[in-house]
Structure 1
Amino acid sequence: MIKTTATRLRGRIFPEIQWTTEQKAEREAESEAFYQRCYAIFDRVKAELIATHYNWFIAIEPDRGEYFIDRDLEVASLQCREKHPGKLHYTFRINESGACGSI
């Protein structure tokens, strides 16, 4: 018996949206640039925050350079979204690597 996925049964969900290779590359470059802007802020404050808030979360809004910290990932993100509605933010864990989990 052949197993099929729901996507194969339904087809593409949005077949009218077909990104070119250039559009995909542009999107990836924008994402990387956004990450680098956020990481620069994280890297600047990481040393002082590790001493007092180790393994907490930090949500960073790079346009204003503001950040919000909390023990709970959702609370930190919510604080950032409330202060800057409609703006993107990036979340790191306050530790040596900034990673929120491991594989």
Structure 2
Amino acid sequence: MPELSLDNPHDIGNPASRLPRWLQLAGLVAFLALIAAFFGWMLTEHWRRATFALGVAMVWLGVLRLTCDSRILGIFAVRSVKFDVAFCFAVGGLMAAAAASVDALGS
């Protein structure tokens, strides 16, 4: 029976990250902190802050995907590095820009 590999098949042959493992994990923790902030603001109905935090988290995930090993990122490494980075930068940038451009209307 062949061994089940959980490695991302799109990352076979990619060089290992030059960043130390602890720094890669610290970046992942920062991403998860942004996601926690998103949920906190969403639950307290601060939707502009929540949307901005989620957009920044997506851009940060793109940076992580560019600089970290897919074994560290786990389920956040979905496709090839190029696709993941382009998707995260595009969606995250648009979300953050949209949230920043909305007028506060005195709230």
Greater relative CO, 1 or 2 (CA 8 Å, sep 6+): 2
- Give the TM-score normalised by the residue count of structure 2: 0.33
Which is higher, the Rg of structure 1 or of structure 2?
1
- Give the TM-score normalised by the residue count of structure 1: 0.33
